[in-house]
Amino acid sequence: MKHDAIIVGGGFAGLAAATYLSRARRSVQVVDTGRPRNRFAGASHGFLGQDGSDPQAILAAAREQLLAYPTAQIADAEARTARIHEDGFSVLLANGEEIVAHKLILAFGLRDELPEIPGLQERWGKTVLHCPYCHGIEFSDRELGVLYRTPMSVHQALLIAEWGPTTLYLNGADIDGDSQAALSARGVSVEAARVDGLIGSDKALSAIQLADGGVRTIAALYISPQSCLASPLAEQLGVEIDESPVGPVIRTDTDKMTSISGLYAAGDIARAPHSVSWAVADGVTAGTSAHRALVFG
Ligand SMILES: Cc1cc2nc3c(=O)[nH]c(=O)nc-3n(C[C@H](O)[C@H](O)[C@H](O)COP(=O)(O)OP(=O)(O)OC[C@H]3O[C@@H](n4cnc5c(N)ncnc54)[C@H](O)[C@@H]3O)c2cc1C
């Protein structure tokens, strides 16, 4: 069976695209491995009407509502490879099944690579964070830290100071005089020593252990994650990809179509910055654009 559209990734962008295509009575095959980027967070913030909800619960409800449409299907499977044909696309799944469609929407999200600091990885999404709009007000006026990873970390520290007293942990890196001056003017402290580990009960954070023996009180640590595309499909297909300070961005036009006709990209892989709301909006754009292309060619 040839579907109208295949959507690789059933996270926020993919399910939004699938919902709009299904409401246009088009056959949609979503392929999803069920590992949304924010699965480490117990609560998702800022998405209208769902502020503080469990992100997995939002997605479970979206899946259930999508499957109420007779033309929608979800395969819990990994898309391994994809190919372009004269009149559409084929996607090979890890189970060996090959599916074909007129349009293909990539919505497989990003994967975050975290620094190797003891106590950090297990606190990701709880007390080790990257976005203060998503997770910031919960730590208001408590001691906050920013771990230096790139020059963007200076900007991040200047922003985080909006939520509470902030220290930039250089972890052995150097920053220039202008950055020092900007941080000082904003009241951000700077700690030069290397970071040895994070301390706290379970996922809570109470202190940061420094290599020089110092221990600093801290309630949350912000980092700039180094993100990469969660799947190699975009590179395989040969779409144009740009680099941004927060990771790779698949180049799309205002319809979320990539550099290849009929191939769309939505969500974190096709924009910066990132959020659930933006991913949903992109999914709606990609879904409705793909539908109009099916109708009008
Ligand atoms: C720790 C953390 C906390 C966050 N908190 C918030 C918050 O509070 N509020 C907010 O608005 N945003 C938050 N975000 C950002 C938010 O998670 C992303 O913006 C959002 O998940 C992007 O949606 P997406 O659909 O593009 O990708 P995702 O939600 O990551 O979904 C991608 C889907 O594609 C699947 N997939 C990947 N490869 C394949 C493949 N080859 N085959 C099939 N399926 C595949 C994945 O398993 C996943 O289900 C947070 C991010 C992180 C890292």
Instruction: Delimit the CATH 3.50.50.60 region(s) of the chain.
Output: 2-112+226-296, 115-222
Arithmetic mean of pLDDT over the chain: 97
- Residues near ligand 1 with C-beta < 6 Å? 8-14, 31-38, 40-41, 44-47, 78-79, 107-109, 112, 124-125, 134-135, 230-231, 267-268, 274-277, 279
| Per-residue pLDDT, 80 | 98
What's the CA gap between 1 and 178, in Å, rounded? 61
Burial tier of 58 (Cβ tally within 10 Å: 0-12, 13-18, 19+): buried
CA–CA separation, 134 and 122 (whole Å): 18
Distance of alpha carbon 212 from alpha carbon 169, whole angstroms: 13
Picking from 262, 263, 271, 267, the residue whose alpha carbon sits closest to that of residue 281 is 267
| Domain 2-112+226-296 homologous superfamily, CATH | FAD/NAD(P)-binding domain (3.50.50.60)
Mutate to test the pocket of ligand 1, among 45, 50, 112, 134 (most ligand atoms within 8 A of CB): 134
- What are the C-alpha distances in Å from 166 to residues 40, 169, 222, 292? 24, 10, 10, 49
Q: d(Cα 56, Cα 41) in Å, to the nearest integer?
A: 9
pLDDT at 120 over 90: yes
Which atom of ligand 1 is closest in space to residue 277's alpha carbon?
11
Over residues 220-248, the pLDDT tens digits come to 999 998 899 999 999 999 999 999 988 99
Look-up of token digits 């771990």: 147
CATH number of 115-222: 3.50.50.60
- Ligand 1 nearest atom to the CA of residue 14, by list position: 25
Read off the pLDDT of each residue in 204-218 and give the average, rounded to a whole number: 98
Other residues' Cβ atoms within 10 Å of the Cβ of residue 261: 9
Q: Which atom of ligand 1 is nearest to the CA of 12?
A: 25
pLDDT digits (tens, 9 = 90+) for 36-57: 999 999 999 999 999 999 999 9
Residue 216 alpha carbon to ligand 1 centre in Å: 32
